[in-house]
Amino acid sequence: MDVLKVVVLAKYAQGLIPFQGFYDLIFSLDLAKRNVFFEDLSGMIFNLGLSQNDVEKYIKETDLREAEDVASVVRDTPVETLVGKLVAGVETNRNGFLQAILGLFTIAYLRRYSKFKDDPAKFWYWDFKNYSNTERISPRAWQTVDLSQFN
């Protein structure tokens, strides 16, 4: 996965990028690039270890009234296949499904962020409110990131 994507997602989860900005970025991509992005994001969520507890926390933190189709997918889909179903629904309900995907990502990310914050070996958990942390990422790391490192 491209390091820039990792940093953007980490910044989103840390509350540094608003949803609308992220939405605009994702849907400015052509369909092929958007599909690659969602494939990478799905891999990150899988490697973060999304759990049923994360899903239940998401349901409690959001009322899911905005989009009933999103609510039924989140409530009724086993955690193992949930992200795939949400990604499949993005083109029919962009706002609702993207919010659900990013909400679940954020919960799983922040659970691990509190454990690994500022670990020198895991730049994706650095505190990006401090801009110098972006500058600290080694040029070698800007090549690609192996998604298995997120677990």
pLDDT value at 146 more than 80? no
- Residue 126 in contact with residue 11, Cβ under 8 Å? no
22: pLDDT confidence band, cut at 50, 70 and 90?
confident
Round to whole Å and give the CA distance between 130 and 126.
9
Q: Which amino acid is at 24?
A: D
Round to whole Å and give the CA distance between 65 and 43.
27
The pTM of the full predicted model, rounded to 2 decimals, is 0.86
Backbone angles phi, psi at 108, to 5 degrees: -65, -40
Round to whole Å and give the CA distance between 134 and 79.
32
Joined together, the tokens standing for residue 124 give 């994706």
1: pLDDT confidence band, cut at 50, 70 and 90?
confident
- Residue 69 in contact with residue 93, Cβ under 8 Å? yes
pLDDT, tens digit, 9 for 90 and up, residues 47-85? 999 999 999 999 888 876 655 788 889 988 999 999 999
Round to whole Å and give the CA distance between 142 and 148.
16
pLDDT, tens digit, 9 for 90 and up, residues 102-115? 999 999 999 999 88
- Residue 37 in contact with residue 26, Cβ under 8 Å? yes
The total of other beta-carbon atoms located within 10 Å of residue 99's CB is 20
